[in-house]
Amino acid sequence: MSEKLQKTAITPAGHTTPPAKFSHGVKKGNILQVAGQVGFGPAVPGQAPAPVGPTLREQSLQTLRNVQAVLEEGGASWEDVMMIRIYLTDTAHFAEFNALYDEFFADLEEAPSARTTIYVGLPAGLLVEIDALAVLG
């Protein structure tokens, strides 16, 4: 009988509390799933989470930093990411997001992962959400 792998919740310091019963990330064995992250800045006690700004640029860069924080807290890096899913609220944002994405990953020798872009509705004021799947080791 094989030993059951433990599942560990990942929550980086400074991240806001999720609005429902889920974790920012979950690690089981060498798999790390980063839950959908948005462009919220660091948590401020007594204040509701809010986007870092109204622009796609501000929110996208913060969202990518939030994904990176979960990866790092879980012992991973962008090099371990196998899949990124991008959720945009407007098809008109696709080209601008791609430019921001390329800028963010400019220092990587290879593309960070496979990627899918999906158009969705998000809570008021949010323009982008990103989740990622990493395999460690």
Using alpha carbons, list the distances in angstroms from residue 100 to 13, 40, 104.
25, 17, 6
- Give the phi and the psi of residue 51 in degrees, each rounded to 5: -60, 150
Per-residue pLDDT tens for 62-106? Answer: 999 999 999 999 999 999 999 999 999 999 999 999 999 999 999
Angstrom distance (rounded) from CA 15 to CA 12: 6
pLDDT at 2: 67
pTM over 0.85: yes
> What is the average per-residue pLDDT within 50-62?
97
Residue linked to tokens 């962008």: 78
Angstrom distance (rounded) from CA 74 to CA 33: 9
Q: Name the amino acid, one letter, at 75.
A: G
Per-residue pLDDT tens for 9-32? Answer: 999 988 888 888 899 999 999 999
pLDDT at 17: 83
pLDDT at 1: 59
